[in-house]
């Protein structure tokens, strides 16, 4: 037994499924999780001494790679001054100023996770509009708060069914589900629920059903529909924020949201989330306004130090995004070629540095097509790559994340591993 298997056995005795977040358990790919011990740049190392090229990057936060010197130094310096005060600190102000400057939001509130950011933004949207219904898209993930654990139920016009036990049906019933990349499905829901929809929330690039970019005009259509029906548009930029561009998807696709949620990259690897928007909306939040939201560790100085150090580098070196996009394109084209030559039906979707290989013949533009993927093939793909030193998502419905530390040579190493894996799959 490997050390990872031993640890997993011990973990399962004292933690549900042996993990603190479900996908990590690697159940859908029929293996056990590799327990990671250390990292550097684009590489991670497990407790058995195996080295991997990391295509997960902690699920997105580490856009500069692991253990980037500037981030590490900033964190160590902050630790020396104290781990937490529960009081205002200078770094929070710098963080808020930088986020506003980079993204165009006028005010921002820091929280501790993407889940919390979304939950708080939804409360604000409901408080500000006096409406209670929400529209989300099937296959979009917005964290695990009650009202967001809903996908398409028995039809687009009916209230959602919860995906999780423990979510009251009444709560899920206020969450309506539309089809991603289908603005007409949103219009139908808005028309069927006049004056009742507080907000439409969307991942501007869907990245939790695998990567599904928005069709041209889709996000703009949502903006117009929200204006027409008096609903707020919430872009959940927990993945896309600071990844597609300094200004996230808002800048990349030229669409302006009423509220935006951030997470992942904003914390540089520490647990951080944030939500922001116009001054008028954000002034509805306590202590200025009636929408209550608080957090003992929110704006934590060590977390702020990590996030700020990373954001400053992204702010000062916009060339990073062009490079990520270029490497993403090389990987996408290389993979497409490999599958084409092998005659294996696959779609390689990409938005900037986010990619997913779907094992299906159909172009994947939404949830239904994503679900048509051959999960048995994905399992072979995952395990083939892992055994060749490529660490990628243990689920068909997740993204590969490129980071600034990936070299051109490593992209070629990934492609070589992919070629061998695909040969075994034939």
Q: Which residues are catalytic?
A: 141, 236, 264
Selected range binding ligand PLP among 125-133, 156-164, 234-242, 379-387, rule: CB under 6 A:
234-242
Q: Closer to ligand PLP by CB, 143 or 384: give it.
A: 143
Determine the Cα–Cα distance for residues 87 and 134; give it in Å rounded to an integer.
34
Q: Which position among 203, 258, 398, 410 is part of the footprint of ligand PLP (CB under 6 A)?
A: 203
Residues 90-119 that bind ligand PLP (CB under 6 A): 113-115, 118
Cβ atoms 209, 370 nearer than 8 A = yes
Give 342-350 contacts, CB < 8 A, sequence gap 24+.
342/422, 342/423, 342/425, 342/426, 343/426, 344/377, 344/422, 344/425, 344/426, 349/210, 349/211, 349/212, 349/213, 350/211, 350/213
- Residue whose CB is less far from ligand PLP, 142 or 223: 142
Report the residue number, 143 or 268, with the smaller CB distance to ligand PLP: 143
Only one of the segments 236-244, 314-322, 332-340, 380-388 lies at the binding site for ligand PLP (rule: CB under 6 A); that segment is 236-244
Distances from the Cα of 208 to the Cα of 29, 58, 86, 164, 394, angstroms: 17, 14, 33, 17, 13
Q: In angstroms, what CA-CA distances link 362 with 28, 152, 289, 346, 366?
A: 22, 20, 48, 8, 11
Q: Minimum distance between the CB of residue 117 and ligand PLP, rounded to whole angstroms?
A: 7
175 burial type by CB count under 10 A (0-12 exposed, 13-18 middle, 19+ buried):
buried
**Is there binding between residue 238 and ligand PLP (CB under 6 A)?**
yes
Size of the site for ligand PLP (CB under 6 A): 14
Cβ-based nearer residue to ligand PLP, 54 or 116? 116
d(CA 379, CA 306): 35
Closest of 4, 49, 57, 48 to residue 26, by C-alpha:
4
Nearer to ligand PLP, 141 or 229 (CB): 141
Binding of residue 213 to ligand PLP (CB under 6 A): no
236 binds ligand PLP (CB under 6 A): yes
How far, in Å, CA of 169 to CA of 159, rounded? 9
Per-residue DSSP letter, 213:
P
Other beta carbons within 10 angstroms of residue 271's beta carbon come to 16
Q: Residue 260 or 320: which CB sits closer to ligand PLP?
A: 260
Helices (H) and strands (E) in the chain, counts: 14, 14
**115 vs 193 by CB, closer to ligand PLP:** 115
Query: Counting contacts by CB under 6 A, is residue 141 touching ligand PLP?
Result: yes
Q: Which stretch binds ligand PLP (CB under 6 A): 92-100, 121-129, 135-143, 351-359?
A: 135-143
Q: Which helix (H) or strand (E) holds 135?
A: strand 133-137
Binding string to ligand PLP for residues 322 to 361, with x set by CB under 6 A, is what? ----------------------------------------
For the bound state, the minimum distance from the C-beta of residue 216 to ligand PLP, rounded and expressed in Å, comes to 21
Closer Cβ to ligand PLP, 18 or 241, answer by number: 241
The answer to whether 375 touches 408, Cβ cutoff 8 Å, is: no
Q: Is residue 142 close enough to count as binding ligand PLP by CB under 6 A? A: yes
Among 58, 185, 208, 365, binds ligand PLP (CB under 6 A): 208
The dihedrals phi and psi of 35, each to the nearest 5 degrees, come to: -80, 125
Q: Which of 75, 111, 239, 270 binds ligand PLP (CB under 6 A)?
A: 239
Stretch that binds ligand PLP, among 27-35, 137-145, 184-192, 317-325 (CB under 6 A): 137-145
Residues 363-382 touching ligand PLP, rule: CB under 6 A, are none
Task: Give Rg (Cα) of the chain.
Answer: 21
Taking CB under 6 A as the criterion, the residue among 263, 276, 301, 384 binding ligand PLP is 263
Q: What share of the chain is helix, strand, coil (3-state, %, to 5)?
A: 45, 15, 40
- The distance of closest approach from Cβ of residue 119 to ligand PLP in the complex, given in angstroms and rounded to an integer, is 9
Residue 232's H or E segment, with its range, is: strand 232-236
Q: Which residue is nearest to ligand PLP (CB)?
A: 114
Contact yes or no for 304/89 (Cβ under 8 A): yes
Q: Please give the residue ranges that form the binding site for ligand PLP (CB under 6 A).
A: 113-115, 118, 141-143, 203, 208, 236, 238-239, 263, 273
């Amino acid at each position: 037994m490997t050390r990872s298997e031993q640890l997993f056995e011990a973990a399962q005795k004292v933690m549900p499924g042996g993990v603190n977040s479900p996908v990590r358990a690697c159940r859908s790919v029929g293996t056990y999780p590799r327990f990671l011990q250390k990292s550097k740049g684009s590489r991670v190392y497990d407790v058995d001494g195996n080295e991997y090229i990391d295509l997960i990057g902690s699920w997105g936060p580490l856009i500069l790679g692991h253990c980037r010197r500037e981030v590490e130094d900033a964190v160590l310096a902050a630790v020396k001054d104290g781990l937490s005060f529960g009081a205002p600190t200078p770094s929070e102000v710098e963080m808020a100023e930088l986020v506003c400057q980079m993204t165009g939001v006028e005010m921002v509130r820091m929280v501790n996770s993407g889940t919390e950011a979304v939950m708080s933004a939804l409360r604000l949207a409901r408080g500000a509009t006096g409406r209670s219904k929400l529209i989300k898209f099937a296959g979009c993930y917005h964290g695990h708060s009650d009202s967001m654990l809903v996908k398409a139920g028995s039809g687009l016009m009916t209230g959602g069914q919860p995906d999780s036990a423990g979510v009251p049906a009444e709560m899920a019933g206020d969450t309506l589900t539309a089809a991603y990349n289908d603005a007409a499905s949103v219009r139908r829901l808005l028309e069927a629920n006049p004056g009742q929809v507080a907000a439409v929330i969307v991942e501007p690039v869907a990245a939790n059903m695998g990567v599904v970019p928005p069709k041209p005009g889709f996000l703009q259509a949502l903006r117009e529909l929200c204006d027409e029906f008096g609903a707020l548009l919430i872009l959940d930029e927990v993945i896309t924020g600071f990844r597609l561009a300094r200004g996230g998807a808002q800048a990349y696709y030229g669409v302006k949201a009423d509220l935006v949620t951030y997470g992942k990259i904003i914390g540089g690897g520490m647990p951080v989330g944030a939500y922001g928007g116009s001054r008028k909306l954000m002034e509805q939040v306590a202590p200025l306004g009636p929408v209550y939201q608080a957090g003992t560790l929110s704006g934590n100085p060590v977390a702020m130090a990590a996030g700020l150090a990373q954001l400053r580098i992204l702010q000062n070196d916009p060339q990073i995004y062009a490079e990520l996009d270029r490497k993403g394109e090389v990987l996408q084209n290389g993979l497409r070629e490999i599958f084409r030559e092998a005659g294996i039906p696959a779609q390689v979707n990409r938005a900037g540095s986010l990619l997913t290989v779907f094992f299906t013949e159909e172009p994947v533009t939404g949830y239904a097509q994503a679900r048509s993927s051959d999960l048995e093939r994905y399992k072979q793909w995952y395990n083939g790559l892992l055994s060749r030193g490529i660490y990628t998502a243990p689920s068909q419905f997740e993204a590969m994340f490129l980071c600034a530390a990936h070299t051109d040579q490593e992209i070629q190493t990934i492609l070589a591993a992919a070629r061998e894996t695909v040969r075994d799959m034939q």
